[in-house]
Amino acid sequence: MATDLQHEPSVAQLVSGIIDDAQRLMAQHAELLKADIRKDLHDAKEAGYSLGIGGGLLGAGGLLLLFMVAHFLNWMWEIPLWGGYGITGAVLALAGGLLFFRGQQQMDKINPLPENSIEAVKEDLQWKTK
């Protein structure tokens, strides 16, 4: 019987083990939080690149199309040059607005707060304070 008690961990060792496990769990949740934030930042960066590059290409293409279509309308149907520019500009503004709206929708889908990690940390803190 005396040998059985010698192999059993003491209360201090058990408490120390529980504290170590809780600290390890908190560290793991902190790493999960960092990974979630990195993923969200990467997604936001990709959406930002799409918006920026799309906007730049839209502007360059729109400018060239503006000149081409305006002069074509003037040549083909004898519309005044200013009318050709107006029609072309309106069509390009509509297309640009649609693309910009699509980019905004993509940005709205990105949640910058990692909800799963935050909930896990809240649960850990509640458990730790009990």
Q: Is residue 10 part of a domain?
A: no
**Domain extent for 61:** 22-129
Q: Which two tokens stand for residue 93?
A: 């503004």
In-domain check, residue 95: yes
Give me the pLDDT at residue 1, please. 47
Residue 17 covered by a domain: no
Total count of domains within the chain: 1
Q: How far apart are CA 14 and CA 8, in angstroms?
A: 10
Find the Cα–Cα–Cα–Cα dihedral 72, 73, 74, 76, rounded to 10°. 80
The pLDDT value recorded for residue 123 is: 77
pLDDT band of 24, cuts 50, 70, 90: very high
Environment class of 33 (CB within 10 Å of its CB; exposed 0-12, middle 13-18, buried 19+): middle
| 87 domain residue, yes or no | yes
Whether residue 92 lies inside any domain: the answer is yes
pLDDT, tens only, 74-122? 899 989 998 888 888 888 789 889 999 999 999 988 877 777 777 777 7
Q: Where are the alpha helices (DSSP H) in the chain?
A: 2-7, 11-77, 81-108, 115-129
Tell the burial category of 88 from Cβ atoms under 10 Å away from its Cβ (0-12, 13-18, 19+): buried
pLDDT surpassing 90 at residue 55: yes
Share of the chain above pLDDT 70, in %: 93
Are 65 and 92 contacting, i.e. CB atoms less than 8 angstroms apart? Answer: yes
